[in-house]
Amino acid sequence: MSTNYLERYDATPDTEKFPLVRRWMDTEPLPFFKELRAKRPILVTPDCTLVTRFDDVREILLMYKVFTVKPYVPKMDNYLMAHDDDALHTREKSLMQFMLNRDDLPRVRNMVADIAGGILGNASGQIEVVNKFCRMVPATLVQKYFGLTGANREDLIEWSYWNQYDTFHNQPFDLLPPELSKRIIDRHNETSKKLGDYITMLIAKRLLAVKLEKLTFSTIVRLDDDIVTRMLRTSFAKELDFDIKRLGVNAGGLLIGAIETTAQAVAQVLQYLFQHSQWLAAAKAAAQKEDTTEFDGIVWEALRFVPITSYLFRTTVSDYTAAKGTDHETVLRAGTYVLPVTLSATFDERAFESPDEFIPQRNWYNYFHFGFGNHECLGRYVGMVMIPEMVRQVMLKKDVEPKGDIDYKSGPFPEAYDLSWATA
């Protein structure tokens, strides 16, 4: 069946072209992107440029100094992810990856299982899963593993929510009404101040506790192991420029990146499985196995169909010819917003065999679930155990089923989703 998106696009006045594209991206992305990949893999609109083939998306995401994260800069308060391939980004990401020791992952998965199982076990057979589970589990892990204690989980959730909303869903190409855009910015500023005040107090208290632990040789004061405590126990050479202030910025970054992205991924994977009986049955059977490899593969393949975002975004700082040497090579001018459409890339038959089919255990390295390249998610390995384990805990419930679809309440994030299951 011919969709003729490009025919309609070309016939549309320039002022209405990108709003039309945006509507297709939001409401019928897979057929729209399929036509672009086949007929116009790089679509230059008056507002931004879409890049849709797998190889071209990777090319854009690997050219850090050409396609920059400049749109992040006013949103991230000098956090490492607002830096492009410079000393601060390399240094602090390396230090934080060192703190997030991958040897912790079996313990982290067990922690997630305990937290998630406890919440579901206390739910008496029904739960509004977005707020009571999908957000609450990572918020609890933020306290227990990252060490951001002393704040209500509801506050942690709110701080993550507005930072994520403003940074990733309040850019010019999101076409939000001005009054909504301003409200998001105001809420982001308000919650960032609260987060900053909290981090300052947290670090001061924890630093004192670490000093007392050292003075008492851990015989009187003995702190639990978590990421904030690890950072404060560690002595950094002055030349590393990782002082208390930078430590605090990175502690806040752990929170912002952990909660809302995880919640959205888990909710959308759950809904996808409930809507596809074959894979729901497969997931329930795999959830019973001690080896989680099969189950995790089902989760990641489901997330290919319902990712938390269909694209990443960059700003071109110098002219660049993308897809050079192909029949669709395109000069991208300096100052252009470029959207590498990762959802389209993961349905490109050049990288995915039978891309329209659901095939678990695909090549993990071709997914974009945690981004790609220099700005790949700092906490991706934590996410790689947290997301599937949260889904698995739901799948372990007898006769679990939804009571409707996810309610997004006109926003980018899931806001409500009711589940029930048998308790006897």
- pTM for this predicted structure: 0.97
pLDDT tens for 319-334 read: 999 999 999 999 999 9
User: In which residue are the tokens 């899963």 written?
Assistant: 129
CB count in 10 Å sphere of residue 102: 11
Q: Average the pLDDT over 236-265 and give the result.
A: 96
| pLDDT of 2 over the 80 cut | no
pLDDT tens for 10-68 read: 999 999 999 999 999 999 999 999 999 999 999 999 999 999 999 999 999 999 999 99
Q: Which residue has the higher pLDDT, 77 or 367?
A: 367
Percent of the chain with pLDDT over 70: 100
CA distance 72 to 83: 9
Contact 137, 116 (CB under 8 A): yes
User: In which residue are the tokens 């959830």 written?
Assistant: 287
Sheet strand arrangement including 42-44: 42-44, 49-51, 337-340, 314-316, 67-68
Question: Cα dist. 354→123, 250, 279, 347 in Å?
Answer: 40, 41, 17, 9
Q: Sketch out the chain's domains with CATH numbers.
A: 40-418 (1.10.630.10)
